[in-house]
Amino acid sequence: MLTPPPGDQLVVSTDSLTEEVHFKRSQIPPSILGRKALLVNISDLAAMGARPWFCLLALSLPEDLARSSYSSALLEGFLGETRRWGVDLVGGNLTGSSIIQVNVTIGGTIDHGQSIKRDGCRDGDSLYLVGHVGRSSRGLQLLHELNFDMLPTREEELLELVKDPHDALCLLSHLLPAPRLRAGIWLRQRKLANSMIDVSDGLVADLQRLAEASGVEIVIDGSTLELLRSEGGERMTLEHVLHGGEDYALIFSCSDRKHQEIEKIFPEGFGDLRRLGIAHRAETPAVLVDDGRNQMILTPQGFDHFT
Amino acid sequence: MLTPPPGDQLVVSTDSLTEEVHFKRSQIPPSILGRKALLVNISDLAAMGARPWFCLLALSLPEDLARSSYSSALLEGFLGETRRWGVDLVGGNLTGSSIIQVNVTIGGTIDHGQSIKRDGCRDGDSLYLVGHVGRSSRGLQLLHELNFDMLPTREEELLELVKDPHDALCLLSHLLPAPRLRAGIWLRQRKLANSMIDVSDGLVADLQRLAEASGVEIVIDGSTLELLRSEGGERMTLEHVLHGGEDYALIFSCSDRKHQEIEKIFPEGFGDLRRLGIAHRAETPAVLVDDGRNQMILTPQGFDHFT
């Protein structure tokens, strides 16, 4: 029984992690799987600037795992993150299944009429990125390459698994993404963002969604892309940056007159803030890159569940 | 974005239908699977006397089904029921998977402080059943026995599949259970029920849950059980009545002084109402049957996802 805060509006969202689609059983410890399942849903709230309120967990497990410490480790990881983010687990369901699936539904609150959606990007808006892109897919590549026998479960130990500090961050970002909740709430409360989306399927794919919802074309600055790539270490490619999924960074747009203010007052602890480019009203929504001489259309190659 | 009705409280619940656990792909058409996925969640609301508000659908499908008419038929069935029950689909998620899973989260509203829970059954309460038990598991047995090539999708056609009218009702009850939503809301609004639960895992299993939550033992009248069995046709067994799952009937308890009133004023269209027996405060919660001479303990043998 939940009592809605007077005057607030409710947002709800659902997201699943499915074995062999989003993860391989041997490549993620159960406690981290439980944590990640909540984190990706917290990111959905971040993209709306919503405060976490409640969640429900629908867990599908093969019988041998349900009867072993696997299920309790998964649940402990999940519950730890619910405490960390202040979200109440109010319902659940456990089902037998041939594969592992962790489905979470999350509810959050927003002050009445204050929502930020992906369709609010206007002509002349500046586009911003909070956090990083490319790290998660580079981390996944590392998991495949290194083929660890057994992964540790704590952040500090995960960071020590590989020597290269860039790679270590990528591995951690893949296993335990950092939802930009504080940034999302802050942007909403200060009415600084016209539109917002989280990057779950890749930078270009999610920019394209924002462009289509808003009826704009988005022109990204080529030098910013190169900067994002170079910061990711030697093995980070432009492919990772443009099309890697599961980073759970935040993209938002703001009016041109606000963009200098935002760069000054954006709190440091909320994640790296980068100006990606600019939006123009357009008949055909698209994402382009401007290398200083030419503009080229970027085609989404993000995660498609059925290719 | 959802605006909670002022003063109301929110209840949320989640339930999944998983291939090879809850159904076989060949034994349920996709449109009926979609409908059933909402119906079992509506039954969760019925058990709390809540009015439907919103739902989210997390669908896992193998690629060949996602790319075929299977997915649209499933979605159409689901959406048809959302319209019928007045519940808004406000979020969703589609994931590739080796098996079909339909997970639904549902939200409902209750006037502030009016909830009915399974822990409210008191000493001396009468126990009532709304609807039927046993039909669904008998219907599942028929599905296995008759091994239909292709099932029709409309109720009228489903009822014509088998000659015996009892069996026909059982088949329909299994494929398209009838949640007792109007009864649940009516009982809550008139403050007639002290406790309530829906029968998803079997009569004894769910009575046992109510008994444990409330700290009572529940004594069922043996002649009522025999009546329930005989009404189900020749092939209905006591096993079906006591332990068959997925009927989504409603069980509630009411104070002794209200039970005669309820029997008089319970609206006819809400489903058959039957008095099952009586509850006593007890150290050891249990479900018993009284055959007029002896009392025997009934052990739950309901659906266990992991046996």
Nearest CA in chain A to B55: A12
| CB contacts, 8 Å: B18 with chain A | 60, 95-97
Is the pLDDT assigned to residue A11 strictly greater than 90? yes
| CB contacts, 8 Å: B103 with chain A | 14, 16, 58, 93, 103
On whether any CB of chain B is under 8 Å from the CB of A64, the answer is no
Is the pLDDT assigned to residue B34 strictly greater than 50? yes
pLDDT at position A5: 87
Q: CA of B29: how far to CAs of A233, B67, B75, B148, B151, in Å?
A: 51, 16, 12, 11, 6
- Provide the mean pLDDT of chain A: 94
CB contact under 8 A, A63 and B306: yes
pLDDT band at A301 (very low <50, low <70, confident <90, very high): confident
| CB contacts, 8 Å: B13 with chain A | 56, 91
| CB contacts, 8 Å: A12 with chain B | 2, 54, 56, 90-91, 105, 107
| CB contacts, 8 Å: A91 with chain B | 12-14, 105
Question: Which DSSP string corresponds to A15-77?
Answer: EEEEBTTTB-GGGS-HHHHHHHHHHHHHHHHHTTTPEEEEEEEEEEE-HHHHTSHHHHHHHHH
CB nearest to A115's CB, from B1, B58, B90: B1
CB contact under 8 A, A306 and B14: no
pLDDT at position B256: 87
State the residue for tokens 């799952």.
B245
On whether any CB of chain A is under 8 Å from the CB of B91, the answer is yes
ipTM of the complex: 0.85
Give residue A74's Cα distance to chain centre: 20
CB contact under 8 A, A21 and B95: yes
Tokens of B239: 């096993």
On whether any CB of chain A is under 8 Å from the CB of B90, the answer is yes
Question: Is this structure's pTM higher than 0.80?
Answer: yes
Q: Which domains does chain A have, with CATH numbers?
A: 8-111 (3.30.1330.10), 126-135+178-298 (3.90.650.10), 140-174 (no CATH)
Closest approach of chain B CAs to the CA of A12, in angstroms? Answer: 7
pLDDT at position B259: 84
Is the pLDDT assigned to residue B62 strictly greater than 60? yes
The torsion angles phi and psi of B248, rounded to 5 degrees, stand at 55, 35
Is the pLDDT assigned to residue B307 strictly greater than 60? no
With beta carbons less than 8 A apart as the criterion, state whether A35 and A81 touch. yes
Tokens of A5: 């805060």
pLDDT band at B305 (very low <50, low <70, confident <90, very high): very low
Nearest CA in chain A to B88: A12
